[in-house]
Structure 1
Amino acid sequence: MSENNPFLRALAMYAEAVYRKDVEAFAALYDQDVHVFDMWGAWSLRGLTAWRDMASGWFSSLGDERVVVTFDSQESTVTEDLAIGYAILTYTAVAPDGTTLRSLSNRATMALRKTGECWTIFHEHTSAPIDHQSLQAIVSRAEC
């Protein structure tokens, strides 16, 4: 991972915050006026308070489980004050003993802007393809 690429750095920090279930570290990645098109539940979420509340609910719902986030197929474009990237994110729930409980993948696109010396995500969009027959989201790459 390039330390100079804000998108890759954000992905790594995102994965760490999710694993630690650290709402504040998670929220610190995002801009105050973030607008998220999340794949789960709400059509969209606007503002850091709404996004922080989503993370708080998600992390507290995990109980003693942890979520390991990995990413691949990442691509990004970075300019002086704007970075846009996309990747496939895989979320794997693990029990306290390390046993894999379940896993799913989705596609994520993030747009970051630099304000001063800080890069923050101001837009995030997650998605998964939809099976034409069942109209169900395909959350495993093996199904594609």
Structure 2
Amino acid sequence: MNKLDNPILQVLEGYKAAVWAKDVDSFVALYDRDAVVFDMWRTWSYNGIASWRAMTEGWFGSLGAERVIVDFSDARTMVAAGLAVVHAFATYKAVDAGGVELRAMDNRLSMTLRQQADGWKIVHQHTSSPIAAGTAQVIFRR
């Protein structure tokens, strides 16, 4: 099944497009109003769309002229009874206005989605990276 045939993978495509465009409204529209997000940075959890919107505004606003390319690999989906789970590896690459890569990192990403009248919405998201046992340093490259 390709991305165009799989509505869950279409959500990932929407995620990529919204991040590239730094489009807060499109990004937040992917999420349920009661979404709970366990993100990698700063905050233990974001509960509800208002807190997730505030994080997104801060993230996109901090980029200035930079943009972020998101690539998902090894995405796997499972769908049953109006719920879906997707897990994938996500690579985030910051690029300058000329497209030159400035920095990059890999994350592990899991999402739970619920089918709603206006499509699939993310109700829970969890991102992580492993920790090196000897140093307690986060491993940002797969």
Match of 1:7 in 2: 8
Identity %: 46
Give, in whole Å, the separation in 2 of the partners of 1:9 and 1:139. Answer: 26
Match of 1:73 in 2: 74
After superposition, residues 36-115 of structure 1 pair within 5 angstroms as 36-115=37-116
Asked if the contact 1:7–1:110 (Cα under 8 Å) also holds between the matched residues in 2, the reply is: no
Q: What runs of 5+ residues in structure 1 fail to find an aligned partner?
A: none
Length-normalised TM-score, structure 1: 0.94
Give, in whole Å, the separation in 2 of the partners of 1:73 and 1:11. Answer: 12
Asked if the contact 1:5–1:78 (Cα under 8 Å) also holds between the matched residues in 2, the reply is: no
Length-normalised TM-score, structure 2: 0.96
After superposition, residues 128-143 of structure 1 pair within 5 angstroms as 128-141=129-142
Give, in whole Å, the separation in 1 of the partners of 2:7 and 2:112. Answer: 10
Match of 1:120 in 2: 121
Superposed CA RMSD in Å reads 1.0
Aligned residues: 141
Amino acid at match of 1:34: A
Asked if the contact 1:37–1:126 (Cα under 8 Å) also holds between the matched residues in 2, the reply is: yes
Amino acid at match of 1:44: S
Give, in whole Å, the separation in 1 of the partners of 2:28 and 2:135. Answer: 35
Deviation at 1:3, TM superposition (A): 2.8
